Amino acid sequence: MDEKLIIELINQFFEIEKKTKQESFKRADQPLRKIKWLIESAGYMVKDPLGETYDHMRTDCEATILKEEEPYVISETLKPAIYVVEDEIPRIVQLARVIIK
């Protein structure tokens, strides 16, 4: 399967997972865990940096910074960081897109 297609599929899964957490759809937990397991079984790793500290040296994120004072903490993730794991070595295929407020 084309890597771009898989990345878009993962991004859509991330959005669904994020929205179900916000709305507390408990009935969706099991199917979402199954999809996450399938993604990982296909050799992909998804990382949501929400709540982590951000600095300009990070190589896994593209940030929109909406405040002037530090420390910068990631307050919203628009897209997760996606890695493909080949020979047990993760390679980033999508930078996380985040907002600092």
- Give the pLDDT confidence score for residue 29 in this predicted structure: 81
Q: Give the rounded percent of residues in the chain with a pLDDT score beyond 70.
A: 99
Question: Taking the domain 3-100, which CATH number applies?
Answer: 2.30.22.10
Regarding pTM above 0.85, the answer is yes
- Give the pLDDT confidence score for residue 24 in this predicted structure: 72
The alpha carbons of the chain give a radius of gyration, in whole angstroms, of 15
Could you write out the DSSP letters of every residue in 7-40? Answer: HHHHHHHHHHHHHHHHHT-GGGHHHHHHHHHHHH
Q: What angle do CA 90, 96, 101 make, to 5 degrees?
A: 145
- Give the pLDDT confidence score for residue 28 in this predicted structure: 78
- Give the pLDDT confidence score for residue 13 in this predicted structure: 94
Q: Is the pLDDT of residue 1 over 80?
A: no
Residue 28 CB neighbours (<10 A): 16
Model confidence over 32-84: pLDDT tens digits? 899 999 999 999 999 999 999 999 999 999 999 999 898 999 999 999 999 99
Query: Cis link prior to 31 (omega < 30° from 0)?
Result: no
